[in-house]
Amino acid sequence: MTHLKTLDGTPASRFAFGTMQFGGNADESASAEMFDASRAAGINHFDTAFIYTGGASETILGKLAAKAREQLLIATKVAYDGNGDPEKLQADFDVSLDRLGLQSVDILYLHMYVGTDLQRALEWMVKQQAKGKIRYIGLSNFAAWQVMAAIAIAKQLGTQIDILQPMYNLVKRQAEVEILPMCLNQGVACAPYSPLGGGLLTGKYANGGAGRIKTDQRYSERYSLPYMAQTAAELSQLAAELDVNPATLAAAWVARHDTAPMPILSARSAQQLTPSLDAITFQMDDDLYKRIAALSPAPPPATDRWEERA
């Protein structure tokens, strides 16, 4: 069980909801519907960032969260540009708090690795923690060695790294090599984003559907390897066989990893979100987990000794 708790002492839910679409592809009404659907499904962990939709994401989430603040775990992020200068972090964090309408947040992430500014950035975060402005320190998009460097610095400063947010899904499995085992070993909670692979694993693109892989060059490149489309097609075939939505299988598969990550679900509408929310109650046994895992290539072990892979 995660050590992260809401202000009223409730443990963080096994799934989180990411508000990257709030104020962008999802207007305020659609955002409210997804927020309510997530709450009804038992989610109490909501994630946003300074950079999302020009600030609209934080603003909308803040309004929605106000009615149940102590029952929620609210996370935001700074340093998407990799700038760990404390003055810049403070300026952006102040803006985030203002947008959210909050005096503090539960989790504050460094959105990207900040290089040689890591020491200064963490010293700044510790000061915010001491002031009660943040409760938990998080890192996003950090490599395992970068996380370990941050863990060492945090320990020197009398605190800890509480949570990591990496990319992880059936066609992006690098986290299995060192990130997930490291989180388990170091007691760091893990909340992976993109469990549906930018929508690829829903099967919608094979049917001519729209989404970020078609409209965002970063996503197009990220999911461009031929095996990825093949994996998505085979997952859809398996889902049809089981009479389950492929999005449900994709999200439940991420959560089923032995290290118990907390996948961040997201969508553009409540209707689109429903199959992902179904993953919360979907029962995935060992055989199905292995069957799904076999649809994509597992990354080599950290030592690259293929013949000794467990």
Active site positions, annotated: 52
**Long-range contacts (CB closer than 8 Å, 24 or more residues apart) made by 121-126:** 121/79, 121/84, 121/86, 121/89, 122/150, 122/153, 122/154, 122/157, 123/86, 123/157, 124/86, 124/89, 124/90, 125/89, 126/154, 126/157, 126/158, 126/159
What is the rounded radius of gyration, in angstroms, for the C-alpha atoms of the chain?
19
Residue among 210, 156, 154, 215 at smallest CA distance from 187 = 154
- The CA distance from 111 to 94, in Å, is 16
- The CA distance from 146 to 164, in Å, is 11
- The CA distance from 74 to 60, in Å, is 13
User: Residue 184: what are its φ and ψ, rounded to 5°?
Assistant: -65, -45
Question: Which tokens sit at 159?
Answer: 């605190």
